[in-house]
Amino acid sequence: MTLRIEQLCKTYGNGVKALDQVSLEIPIGMYGLLGPNGAGKSTLMRTLATLQDADSGSVFLGELDVLSQKQQVRRLLGYLPQEFGVYPRTSAMEMLDHIAILKGITNSRERREVVEGMLERVNLFAHRKKAISGFSGGMKQRFGIAQALLGNPQLLIVDEPTAGLDPGERNRFYNLLSEVGENVVVILSTHIVQDVKELCTSMAIIHQGRVVYAGAPVQAEQNLRGMIWQKSISRQELDEHRREYRVISTKLVAGRPLIHVLSELAPGAGFSQVDPDLEDVFFSLVNQAG
């Protein structure tokens, strides 16, 4: 089942154009959606999750019209927003049972088996009677993915899912997503470039509501091969280098700015050529679009 997005547009009442002719084709598997804050990622996620309407365009999940057949789409949808609300004093078992009813699992025996199996799957069965308010950040995210996976969704949307997780929790979370992504469409919306590189075979970069790249992460890196140069400079030299060169990113290494410059030719003394990574792709495209 493929998700097809064609010429999707959304402008808010304050004049902000959140989606500007967005077209993507997303197959089964893990698909990364990268973009800076305010790029339009969350607007696209909410639209795909049938939580808001677009101004124009079309979205099809297989043969289902996502924009007009919302109830049918919701039966095939799993959604983990950046922040999701639960009743904090309710136990994980009770809350998941309630959500399972809302997803149409009405037989009590079947529902219990499904809920207990899902809690096992996300490693929360031992905590099933504990109030969700007492969960750690990682446990809450695991509960979030459990509720999103109820009902065997064909489309799973996760929006900035690893904010606040420690590295161990993040790895466990992504292992579960990768397992799910073998059979369904999983859209991972994030600003963490490395996550997309490690997990996704296809991706899109969105900036100011427009798609500035769609394709494989590896191909995006190859497109910049031979064009990324780096140099360690003093803080006092930073403004001068930004005026003289096309600086796409800056980070501190041992207290000194390490700049990456986009150039087809060697920029000058002190620069060394480096292999491009997905972060270079991201910053070069966003800077160019901006």
Work out the average pLDDT over 38-48.
Answer: 91
Sheet holding 228-232, edge to edge: 247-253, 256-262, 228-232, 272-273
Same domain, 4 and 56: yes
The count of other CB atoms within 10 Å of the CB of residue 229 is: 21
Domain end among 189, 216, 243? 216
Same domain, 206 and 173: yes
Tell me if 235 sits within 8 A of 66, measured CB to CB.
Answer: no
The per-residue pLDDT for 266 is 93
Same domain, 211 and 232: no
**Is 22 exposed, middle or buried, given 0-12, 13-18 or 19+ CB atoms closer than 10 A?**
buried
Residue 288 lies in a domain: no
Work out the average pLDDT over 233-241.
Answer: 94
pTM of the model: 0.87
Residue 166 pLDDT exceeds 80: no
Mean confidence (pLDDT) of the chain: 90
E runs forming strands in 35-184: 56-61, 64-65, 77-80, 155-159
Same domain, 42 and 2: yes
Task: Indicate the number of domains in the chain.
Answer: 3
Domain residue limits at 114: 84-152
Domain end among 170, 192, 216? 216
Same domain, 15 and 139: no
Place of tokens 């990768």: 178
Work out the average pLDDT over 80-100.
Answer: 84
Same domain, 246 and 109: no
Q: What percent of the chain has pLDDT over 70?
A: 98
Residue 221 lies in a domain: no
